């Protein structure tokens, strides 16, 4: 199953990919800003007796990693991300001061690098990594076939796409990658974005004006 939380003043969707049989799980985009949000996440994990095996980033913009250091230290795990996001991770503290996030320096965190087409295993649940840059360098989408779902971060939203006017953004690249790497999924796959409500691949193909 996939459990959704919404954290911080940017209302970022954080997800748990849970393998029900093994009780293993992956945290995707630990965006907890306040201590009560940290507690909400960790208490759910404890309550459900889950074992965290991965901490995944769709991308390293500061709103998506507000709670990254806390979860990495709490669970004793590296952050799993694309190498192209390293620069953004190192800049998180500086960007945080501009955008209202009091985050610590992230540059010294241990990183487990992933690449396009890598497959991770959370228990027996497969998580396919698809590199979808364009919103920012290092942007990954995570496909979970058992759940018929794709976690898209800020690449794809309900009838919209991620902004491309920030450093490292590129509109033609984002459109091309979404069309070739995400919209090729089956129509009934759920789209679980980094902000806002969920959608479906079929609906995005039909109604997303950026992608028609």
> Could you tell me if residue 179 is inside a domain?
yes
Among candidate residues 10, 17, 5, the one with its CA nearest the CA of residue 141: 17
> Could you tell me if residue 6 is inside a domain?
yes
Structural domain of 20: 2-207
Count the domains in the chain: 1
**pLDDT at res. 162:** 97
Quickly count: other Cβ atoms within 10 Å of residue 110's Cβ. 9
Residues 18-54: tens digit of each pLDDT: 999 999 999 999 999 989 999 999 999 999 999 999 9
Cα Rg of the chain (Å, integer): 16
Contact by Cβ (8 Å): 167, 154: no
> Could you tell me if residue 212 is inside a domain?
no
Residue of higher predicted confidence among 89 and 155: 155
CATH number at residue 39: 3.60.15.10
Residues 162-177: tens digit of each pLDDT: 999 988 999 999 999 9
> Could you tell me if residue 104 is inside a domain?
yes
Q: Residue 199: in which H helix or E strand, if any?
A: strand 199-200
**pLDDT at res. 73:** 95
């Amino acid at each position: 199953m996939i459990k959704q939380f919404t954290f911080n003043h940017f209302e970022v969707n954080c997800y748990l990919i849970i393998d029900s049989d093994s009780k293993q799980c992956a945290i995707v985009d630990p965006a907890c800003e306040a201590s009560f949000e940290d507690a909400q996440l960790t208490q759910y994990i404890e309550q459900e007796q889950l074992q965290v095996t991965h901490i995944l980033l769709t991308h390293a913009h500061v709103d998506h990693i507000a709670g990254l250091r806390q979860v990495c230290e709490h669970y004793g795990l590296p952050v799993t991300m694309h190498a192209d996001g390293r620069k953004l991770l190192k800049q998180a503290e500086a960007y945080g001061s501009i955008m209202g996030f009091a985050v610590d320096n992230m540059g010294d965190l241990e990183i487990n690098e992933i690449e396009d087409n890598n497959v991770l295993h959370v228990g027996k649940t497969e998580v396919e990594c698809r590199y979808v840059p364009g919103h920012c360098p290092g942007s990954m989408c995570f496909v979970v076939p058992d759940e018929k779902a794709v976690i898209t971060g800020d690449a794809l939203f309900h009838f919209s796409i991620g902004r491309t006017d920030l450093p490292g953004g590129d509109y033609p690249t984002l459109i091309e990658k979404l069309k070739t790497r995400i919209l090729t999924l089956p129509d009934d796959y759920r789209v679980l974005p980094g902000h806002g409500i969920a959608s479906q691949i079929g609906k995005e193909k039909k109604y997303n004006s950026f992608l028609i």
